[in-house]
């Protein structure tokens, strides 16, 4: 059996812990964790008691309290700000801006007079200081280079900071087994930090690296343990923060930022930003009214068709679900007789955003049709709707909010499924094309 580094144990349930916690993270008993004299695991000693139970409706208390992160776009993705005592994982590729964003947020809360701890495991304190200078922030922010998770946990329990940032979870260690960044170290460090944050009421944010090749083992394990997972991605010149998991809010929520000289800045009107470089009067370019999370967005969908040099023509898709695009192209070919044979078709979402909403189908269909037939779509028309296999247009969620966003952005006409008066309602893809090119 591996050597056990644990040196504290709960006398109620036998849970082991490397830090002297005031409350057992497993059974919730206060003051039951004491130093483990044996320093070794002995399952035979652990006498299990029957689990204690409570009537569900007998439980009361207040909903967890929240505080603003200082960035409107982050608050939106979190579901209304940081939750006291919760743990959030922020993932993203190296260089995307995780440290920058969290330093900004840490500094905001510190400047408001609350205690904030920044664990600088990746960079030297001087590097963090220089970044703070660049961002012109840092008043009152407390830093540590300590990467021993038990020591950081003990700090949380004793000092009860409002917010703690761990940059990054891969640098944390617990005990002296294994390498930093290894699965066991990452998992065990996370467990100890989360338990401490729950006890101290600290909002804990863990930074987790993800490689370009995909996720590394660490963050995946951590994802199961935290209350919320956010990922920071690039979308052209913009940065998109997305909630992949959120026990205190909705998933799929997006926040949009711009990386500037002074760090990440909220982009409160992303539709305008995503449409800023839209070419006017070019075949293959259309505007889709999509929902990403609870946010309506207008995005440019582009298609290009060219004669293929290959026996099997290519379908190159970016920012959309490849299978959905394949279905839409098949419907265009089979139901509307659009000749795609021998053509390579490229479809992408301009600006680099990843769209998961099926409501983008109609825009994909019209963009492809426009590209193949070389006809342009009116610049003030936005499109919305899911395309079914029979070529029918299906309804989408939150149509009203999409239309409102389109109107706000100055679009005269929204073509979509027949379920709102403010939409130019159509029942099929054929009808949609007729409306789009009406009178032309
Ligand atoms: P960083 O936060 O270090 O990324 P991560 O922690 O995700 O690895 O940010 C990296 C990039 O951000 C770096 O290339 C420099 C750039 N940057 C700015 O453009 N403006 C700024 O104000 C700062 C601090 C960084
Ligand atoms: Mg970093």
The rounded Å distance from CA 182 to ligand 2 centre is 18
Q: Give the pocket of ligand 1 (CB within 6 Å).
A: 92, 94-100, 131, 134-135, 259, 261-263
Residue pair 305/371 in contact by the 8 Å Cβ criterion: yes
Q: DSSP characters for 287-311?
A: EEEEEETTEEEEEEEEEEEEE-SSS
Per-chain mean pLDDT for the chain:
90
Average pLDDT estimate for 160-176: 93
Nearest CA to ligand 1 atom 9: 97
Comparing CA positions, the residue from 235, 190, 196, 188 lying closest to residue 208 is 190
Look up residue 196 and give its two tokens: 């401490």
Q: DSSP characters for 399-433?
A: HHHHHHHHHHTT-SEEEEESS-TTSEEESBHHHHH
Ligand nearest to the CA of 120: 2
Average pLDDT estimate for 394-400: 94
Q: How would residue 4 be classed by pLDDT, with cut points 50, 70 and 90?
A: very low
Whether 2 shows a pLDDT value over 50: the answer reads: no
Atom of ligand 1 nearest to the CA of 259: 19
- The pLDDT value recorded for residue 258 is 94
Give per-residue pLDDT as tens, 43-62: 555 578 889 899 999 888 88
The Cα 255–Cα 293 span in angstroms is 10
Residue pair 3/28 in contact by the 8 Å Cβ criterion: no
First to last CA, the chain: 78
The Cα 385–Cα 262 span in angstroms is 39
Cis before 331? omega within 30: no
Whether 153 shows a pLDDT value over 50: the answer reads: yes
The rounded Å distance from CA 261 to ligand 1 centre is 9
- The pLDDT value recorded for residue 32 is 72
Q: DSSP characters for 190-245?
A: HHHHHHHHHHHT-EEEEEEE-BTTB--HHHHHHHHHSSEEEEEEEETTEEEEEEEE
The Cα 256–Cα 237 span in angstroms is 11
The Cα 146–Cα 168 span in angstroms is 12
Mutate to test the pocket of ligand 1, among 123, 133, 239, 259 (most ligand atoms within 8 A of CB): 259
Whether 392 shows a pLDDT value over 90: the answer reads: yes
Residue pair 23/199 in contact by the 8 Å Cβ criterion: yes
Ligand nearest to the CA of 107: 1
The rounded Å distance from CA 383 to ligand 1 centre is 36
Q: What are the distances in angstroms from CA 83 to CA 77, 157, 169, 227? A: 12, 17, 20, 10
Average pLDDT estimate for 241-270: 93
- The pLDDT value recorded for residue 13 is 66
- The pLDDT value recorded for residue 220 is 78
The Cα 335–Cα 391 span in angstroms is 6
Look up residue 13 and give its two tokens: 């349930």
Residue 55 burial (CB count, 10 A):
6
- The pLDDT value recorded for residue 416 is 96
- The pLDDT value recorded for residue 43 is 54
Average pLDDT estimate for 275-282: 92
The Cα 180–Cα 60 span in angstroms is 40
The rounded Å distance from CA 135 to ligand 1 centre is 10
- The pLDDT value recorded for residue 239 is 95
Ligand nearest to the CA of 231: 1
Give per-residue pLDDT as tens, 202-229: 999 999 988 766 556 577 789 999 999 9
Residues paired with residue 416 on neighbouring β-strands, in sequence order: 425
The rounded Å distance from CA 134 to ligand 1 centre is 10
- The pLDDT value recorded for residue 41 is 47
Mutate to test the pocket of ligand 1, among 91, 96, 97, 168 (most ligand atoms within 8 A of CB): 97
The rounded Å distance from CA 234 to ligand 2 centre is 15
Tell how strand 228-235 and strand 238-246 pair up: antiparallel
Ligand nearest to the CA of 257: 1
């Amino acid at each position: 059996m591996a050597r056990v580094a644990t040196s504290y144990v709960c006398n109620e349930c036998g849970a082991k812990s490397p830090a002297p916690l005031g409350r057992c993270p497993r059974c919730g008993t206060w003051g039951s964790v004491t130093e483990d004299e044996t320093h070794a695991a002995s399952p035979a000693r652990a006498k299990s008691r029957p689990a204690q139970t409570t009537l569900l409706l007998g439980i009361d208390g207040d909903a967890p309290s929240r505080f603003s992160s200082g960035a409107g776009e982050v608050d939106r993705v979190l579901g209304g700000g940081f939750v006291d005592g919760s743990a959030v994982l922020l993932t993203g590729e190296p260089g995307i801006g995780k440290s920058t964003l969290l330093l900004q947020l840490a500094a905001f809360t510190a400047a408001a007079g609350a205690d904030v701890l920044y664990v600088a495991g990746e960079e030297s304190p001087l590097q963090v200081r220089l970044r703070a200078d660049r961002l012109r922030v840092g008043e009152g922010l407390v830093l540590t280079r300590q990467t021993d998770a038990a020591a950081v946990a003990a700090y949380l329990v004793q000092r009860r900071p409002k917010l703690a940032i761990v940059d990054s979870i891969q640098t944390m260690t617990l005990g002296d087994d294994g390498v930093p960044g290894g699965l066991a170290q990452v998992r065990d460090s996370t467990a100890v930090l989360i338990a401490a944050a729950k006890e101290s009421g600290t909002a804990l944010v863990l930074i987790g690296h993800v490689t370009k090749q995909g996720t590394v083992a660490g963050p995946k394990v951590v994802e199961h343990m935290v209350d919320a997972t956010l990922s920071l991605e690039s979308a052209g010149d913009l940065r998109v923060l997305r909630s992949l998991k959120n026990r205190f809010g909705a998933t799929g929520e997006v926040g949009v930022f711009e990386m500037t000289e002074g760090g990440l800045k909220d982009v409160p009107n992303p539709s305008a930003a995503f449409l800023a470089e839209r070419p006017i009067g070019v075949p293959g370019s259309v505007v889709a009214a999509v929902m990403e999370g609870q946010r309506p967005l207008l995005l440019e969908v582009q298609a290009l068709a060219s004669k293929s040099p290959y026996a099997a023509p290519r379908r190159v898709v970016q920012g959309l679900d490849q299978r959905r695009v394949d279905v839409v192209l098949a419907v265009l070919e089979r139901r509307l007789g659009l000749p795609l044979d021998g053509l390579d078709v490229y479809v992408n979402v301009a600006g680099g955003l990843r769209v998961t909403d099926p409501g983008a189908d109609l825009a994909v269909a019209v963009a492809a049709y426009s590209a193949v037939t070389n006809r342009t779509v009116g610049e003030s028309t936005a499109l919305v709707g899911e395309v079914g296999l029979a070529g029918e247009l299906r309804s989408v969620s939150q149509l009203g909010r999409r239309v409102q966003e389109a109107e706000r952005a100055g679009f005269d006409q929204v073509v979509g499924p027949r379920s709102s008066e403010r939409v130019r309602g159509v029942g099929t893809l054929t009808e949609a094309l007729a409306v789009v090119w009406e009178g032309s």
